């Protein structure tokens, strides 16, 4: 019997252990997609309680608490921090196999040196112990956490209208050892059906200095903001899109659709698809010109619980992994960009694990001399970020392409305590390759295998994102 979450957690065989301890574990972290607040890095935020550090904004944990029948008062409501923590601790023993169970115990061990399993019977002891450390240990400030975890670079997700003031402050702060760069996420521009779309377009125009009344005005405004983001060090875009439907249209038709929406009218499904396709195509061509990476997060059906959305708003944990990804639309979108020699480096993520084979075989249709893995599948994303999901993604990537060119893991998180997810990924990665070595599928030349591991953990992302 192996020790619970012990030193060799997820590592079977000597090859896996050698790869992890001698190669993977010491590599810095590049978190190329996350949702953390750069102001908290600049101000070196300290957390008052474990609930604030651990449960605030973490919809993975919220979903688990609700699955146990917890009322919203104990999830995002007015209950005390202790009551919320106890609610989380009460469901955790019921969740074997859930990555939140494994992440939570990795985080307790790495940041607090706490190796007790968390449950209702140990909740008070762990609460008091961890809160005392939060209050006294400088290593548990935000910058202390980043230093502990060897986080070299972070790319946040930022709206085109954002001032990026905190990124500028951090760029000038020589005491901050982590490079924090903005990431372009134009969701509010792409989703013409969203409430408040016209108000947002007005705000975007004010920020960029354009009076936006036509589609040409919108493109000029977006181009201005992209240039601004680029000057602040932006290296990547990010798009959370349910599907990409192949829906090209001429400028006159797109302008008519855009004008119709600005007047407050509702678009048809066809019009919405044409508008999204036009904006995304315009942006992607500019990414290619700027040298940015295009990240496409596809398939998630968001905010499906209307009652809870009305009460809590977006990003509150009421999303599901859809099967709505139009792979043919995606393929023709990529091909159209490639035909004009304006296809940027691209990472494709999908919430549907059945897309692993399709996305990988599609990605390798678009290669370019001198760029390793120009278009590739991103890491196992969101609902797939499980032990099984990571193994499936790695295996399919390896079987259909060149695993050594994979850009590796990201947190996609709002929590600074989530960085052990990189360790979780690295242990699974070393377990997979170590098993192949031990079974004779890959030679036991550990310097070569270890170099491949280090590339996936760090070097490839550093090169891919030009960091």
Q: Where are the domains of the chain?
A: 13-45+145-464, 46-140
Per CATH, 13-45+145-464 and 46-140 having the same topology is answered no
Residues ≥6 apart with Cβ < 8 Å to 57: 35, 315, 414, 415
- Nearest CA to 303 among 187, 381, 415, 418? 187
The 10s digit of each residue's pLDDT in 229-251 is: 999 999 999 999 999 999 999 99
Tokens 């010491």, located at residue: 26
pLDDT of residue 218: 98
3-state helix, strand, coil in the chain (%, to 5): 55, 10, 40
Residues ≥6 apart with Cβ < 8 Å to 14: 434, 438
pLDDT of residue 310: 80
- Nearest CA to 375 among 354, 344, 351? 344
Q: What is the mean pLDDT of residues 120-132?
A: 98
Residues ≥6 apart with Cβ < 8 Å to 349: 295, 296, 297, 298, 377, 378, 379, 381, 382
Strand, coil or helix: 392: helix
Q: Which class in CATH covers the domain with range 46-140?
A: mainly alpha
Residues ≥6 apart with Cβ < 8 Å to 330: 244, 296, 298, 348, 362
Conformational region of residue 98, where left means phi above 0, alpha means psi within -120 to 50, and beta covers everything else: beta
Q: pTM higher than 0.75 for the full model?
A: yes
- CATH fit for domain 13-45+145-464, picks 2.30.29.30, 3.20.20.140, 3.30.2350.10, 3.20.10.10: 3.20.20.140
Alpha helices (H) along 300-445 = 306-312, 327-339, 355-363, 387-400, 420-438
93 burial level (CB within 10 Å; 0-12, 13-18, 19+): middle
pLDDT of residue 305: 87
Cα–Cα–Cα angle for 294, 460, 39, rounded to 5 degrees:
60
pLDDT of residue 311: 85
d(CA 61, CA 418): 12
Average pLDDT, the chain: 96
| H or E segment to which residue 297 belongs | strand 293-298
Residues ≥6 apart with Cβ < 8 Å to 258: 192, 214, 215, 218, 275
The percent of residues in the chain predicted with pLDDT above 70, rounded, is 99
Q: What is the mean pLDDT of residues 203-229?
A: 97
């Amino acid at each position: 019997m192996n020790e619970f979450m012990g030193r060799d957690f997820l590592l079977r065989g000597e090859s896996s252990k050698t790869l992890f301890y001698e190669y993977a574990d010491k590599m810095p972290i590049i978190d190329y997609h996350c949702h953390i607040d750069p102001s908290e890095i600049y101000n070196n935020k300290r957390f008052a309680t474990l609930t604030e550090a651990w449960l605030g904004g973490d919809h993975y944990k919220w979903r688990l608490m609700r699955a146990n029948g917890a009322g919203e008062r104990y999830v995002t409501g007015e209950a005390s921090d202790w009551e919320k923590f106890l609610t989380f601790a009460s469901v955790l023993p019921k969740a074997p196999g859930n990555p939140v169970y494994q992440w939570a115990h990795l985080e307790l061990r790495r940041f607090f040196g706490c190796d007790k399993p968390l449950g209702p019977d140990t909740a008070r002891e762990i609460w008091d112990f961890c809160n005392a450390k939060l209050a006294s240990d400088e290593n548990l400030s935000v910058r202390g956490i980043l230093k502990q975890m060897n986080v070299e670079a972070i790319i946040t997700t930022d709206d085109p209208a954002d001032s990026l003031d905190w990124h500028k402050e951090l760029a000038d702060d020589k005491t901050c050892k982590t490079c924090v760069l903005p990431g372009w996420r134009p969701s509010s521009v792409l989703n013409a059906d969203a409430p408040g779309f016209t108000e947002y377009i007005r705000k975007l125009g004010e920020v960029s200095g354009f009076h936006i009344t036509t589609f040409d005005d919108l493109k000029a405004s977006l181009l201005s903001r992209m240039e601004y983001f680029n000057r602040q060090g932006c290296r990547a875009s990010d798009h959370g899109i349910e599907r990409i439907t192949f829906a090209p249209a001429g400028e006159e038709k797109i302008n008519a659709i855009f004008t119709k929406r600005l007047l407050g009218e509702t678009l048809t499904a066809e019009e919405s698809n044409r508008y999204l396709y036009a904006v995304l195509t315009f942006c992607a061509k500019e990414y290619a010109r700027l040298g940015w990476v295009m990240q496409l997060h596809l398939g998630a059906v968001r905010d499906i619980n209307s009652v809870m959305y009305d009460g809590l708003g977006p990003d509150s944990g009421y999303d599901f992994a859809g099967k709505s990804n139009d792979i043919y639309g995606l393929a023709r979108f990529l091909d159209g960009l490639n035909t004009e020699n304006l296809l940027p480096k691209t990472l494709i993520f999908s919430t549907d694990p059945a897309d692993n084979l399709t996305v990988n075989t599609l990605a390798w249709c678009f290669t370019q001399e001198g760029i390793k893995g120009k278009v590739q599948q991103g890491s196992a994303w969101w609902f797939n970020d499980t032990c099984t999901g990571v193994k499936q993604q790695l295996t399919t990537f390896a079987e259909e392409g060149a695993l050594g060119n994979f850009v590796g893991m990201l947190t996609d998180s709002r929590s600074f305590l989530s960085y052990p997810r990189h360790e979780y990924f690295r242990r699974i990665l070393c377990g997979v390759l170590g098993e192949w070595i031990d079974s004779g599928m890959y030679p036991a030349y550990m310097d070569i295998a270890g170099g491949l591991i280090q590339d996936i953990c760090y070097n490839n992302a550093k090169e891919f994102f030009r960091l």
